[in-house]
Amino acid sequence: MARWCGAPASGPRTARPQPACSTASEPAGPGWTSILHGGRESLEFANRQLGISEELDSAPMRAEAYLNLARAHQTLGGLDRALSYARQALYNDCGGGSTAGCVHLTVAAVYVGLSELWRRLRDAERAVACAARACDLGRGPRAADLNTRHHRTALLQMAAALRARGELGDAHDYCNEALRLAAVAGDQGCYARAVRIAGDVYRRKCDIGKALRHYEVAMGAGQALGDRLAQMEAMDGAARCLEALRLQGRICNCRPLEFNTRLLEVATSVGAKVRI
């Protein structure tokens, strides 16, 4: 398994980082409210666990507490703090215990988040670099664990980052690999996102017909899963395709208008102001 670069070697405890609430902004919507509430509860319990580990002077418990803190901050969007606590977890996991593998997967999730952040900031180089780190770390603690949820997520993030950088062939390859692994694992959520990203790739290639077909599959998958965010992202891609067809004079104005009205309703329901 690839080691996480920058992680200190196993050893005794170090100075404990001061616990603090995540600095991530709070998105609107009841779903995010429950996630934030759960993340804050996780922070509280992890800090209690850390205090108990200090009283017992137990390095394994301390490593697990730091891991839980890293996971909580990753959930809340505090990616820098998540990495800091992950380092502490590795540092206290003396002898490479069972915590180490979980730490690497958590760090993989953090790098996926960082890659998405850089992609949205239109820094494709950093987005690809972070996604590559996530792919290296997301394969699991054993060489045989090549089809973990983290690895599939990292593959999709790499595909999205490469698409943003214009490397459409490589992006398509990563999408296909994610689709294959999702089918093997029965991961419908990953499958829906992979099909949608494949649609993005085809749209960038100006193959509007294939792009629309992929978006339709992704919309259906998102609707079947009750995932309105996935449905909205696929609808957004389809709307862009319809607009391209309208500008080419291949369809009338009414179809894009009707579709964008539906997209507006879905985007409003999930609080996606950027799409609006």
CB atoms within 10 A of CB 88: 25
pLDDT at 35: 60
- DSSP code string of 211-232: HHHHHHHHHHHHHHHT-HHHHH
Q: How many residues does the chain have?
A: 276
Mean pLDDT, the chain, integer: 81
Sign of the CA dihedral 54, 57, 63, 68? negative
pLDDT at 123: 95
Q: Quick one: tokens of 70?
A: 């890293």
Percentage of the chain with pLDDT > 70? Answer: 79
Res. 18: pLDDT tops 70? no
pLDDT at 24: 41
Highest mean pLDDT among 122-131, 136-145, 147-156, 247-256: 122-131
Beta strand segments in 68-185, E: none
Mean pLDDT within 9-29: 43
Confidence of residue 95 (pLDDT cuts 50, 70, 90): low
pTM for this predicted structure = 0.74
pLDDT (tens digit, 9 = 90+) per residue, 26-56?
Answer: 444 445 466 665 667 888 888 888 888 888 8
pLDDT (tens digit, 9 = 90+) per residue, 110-140?
Answer: 999 999 999 999 999 999 999 999 988 877 5
The arrangement of secondary structure in 34-97, i.e. its CATH architecture, is Alpha Horseshoe (1.25)
Cβ proximity of 250 and 209 under 8 Å: no
Nearest Cα to Cα of residue 100 among 59, 130, 131, 155: 59
Mean pLDDT within 53-63: 84
Query: Which sequence spans correspond to the domains of the chain?
Result: 34-97, 118-181, 187-276
Confidence of residue 96 (pLDDT cuts 50, 70, 90): low
Buried b (16+ CB within 10 A) or exposed e, 112-125: bbbbbebbeeebbe
pLDDT at 13: 47
Confidence of residue 98 (pLDDT cuts 50, 70, 90): low
- The reply to whether 34-97 and 187-276 are identical in fold is yes
CB atoms within 10 A of CB 265: 11
pLDDT at 25: 40
Q: Rounded to whole angstroms, how far apart are CA atoms 87 and 93?
A: 10
Q: Rounded to whole angstroms, how far apart are CA atoms 50 and 111?
A: 25
How far, rounded to the nearest angstrom, does the alpha carbon of residue 57 sit from its chain's CA centroid?
Answer: 35
Q: From 3.40.190.10, 1.25.40.10, 3.90.45.10, 3.40.1710.10, which CATH number describes the 187-276 domain?
A: 1.25.40.10
Confidence of residue 23 (pLDDT cuts 50, 70, 90): very low
pLDDT (tens digit, 9 = 90+) per residue, 191-208?
Answer: 999 999 999 999 999 999
